[in-house]
Amino acid sequence: MNDVSPSLPRSLGESITQKVRRMLVEGELAPGQRLSEAALAESLQISRNTLREAFRVLTREGLLKHEPNRGVTVAEPDMASIIDIYRVRRFIECKAIAQGYPLHPGALHMREAVEVGIRAREAKDWMAVGTANMMFHKAIVELADSPRLVVFYGQISAELRLAFGLLDDPEFLHMPYIDMNASILRCIEEGRPEEATQMLEAYLVQSERTVLAAYERSMNR
């Protein structure tokens, strides 16, 4: 049996793949953006061959798109993808948070993410608020105590951030969820996981409606 944690990169190519995926999760790369192989390889201080390896993996995951004679671009989610992302989120996150308890490391990471989000809101840094929100939901998945699930959720997070990129107004998208995150966290810290699960289910329904509405508007421009 392989004892290597699935969360740890085992080669330079895997490390770079994780790094580019993180750039997607943190909103550094936008849907439809063309990626310059030369510029990105230089900024990451790696060879083009190593970057191409990462590009191939992320293309298979649906996060990037390769077109002959056009190169590599960041994928743009369609409506079916958005609906499926939220279906997966409900299945994973709601089951994970139902297992939460106050002293779990994931609960502590949820607290850290809420505090980062509040500071970013005060600074009106809405991209940073979005990144803190992604941190919060990753921490929820950590409550399931499954390193493999956390790795899988990393891909979902990247696809989700691309869906968020369809909105022109990140403040409108992220503002309501800072206080909702804090309320969900409070339930976990007070030993009320069932209530936290109900709140998260309602949260995900509202978030999905917001993102789908943004997608519709982007298609009608």
Evaluate whether 100 touches 193 at the Cβ level (below 8 Å): yes
Can you give the pLDDT at residue 221?
Answer: 67
Which listed CATH number (1.10.10.10, 1.10.730.10, 1.10.1040.10, 1.10.8.100) goes with 12-74?
A: 1.10.10.10
- How far lies 183's CA from each of 63, 84, 121, 155, 156, in Å? 32, 26, 16, 26, 24
User: Is the domain defined by 79-219 classed in CATH 1.20.120.530?
Assistant: yes
Can you give the pLDDT at residue 107?
Answer: 97
Can you give the pLDDT at residue 10?
Answer: 63
Each domain of the chain, given as residue ranges in start order, spans: 12-74, 79-219
Task: Determine the longest span between alpha carbons in the chain, in angstroms.
Answer: 56
Short-list 15, 31, 6, 14, CA closest to 160: 31
**Fold match, 12-74 / 79-219:** no
In order along its 221 residues, the chain shows pLDDT tens digits of 343 344 444 688 889 998 998 898 888 888 889 999 999 999 999 999 999 999 999 999 889 999 887 889 999 888 999 999 999 999 999 999 999 999 999 999 999 999 999 999 999 998 899 899 999 999 999 999 999 999 999 889 888 888 887 777 778 878 889 999 999 999 999 999 999 999 999 999 999 998 898 888 877 76
pTM: 0.82
Q: What are phi and psi of 151, to 5 degrees?
A: -65, -45
Can you give the pLDDT at residue 85?
Answer: 93
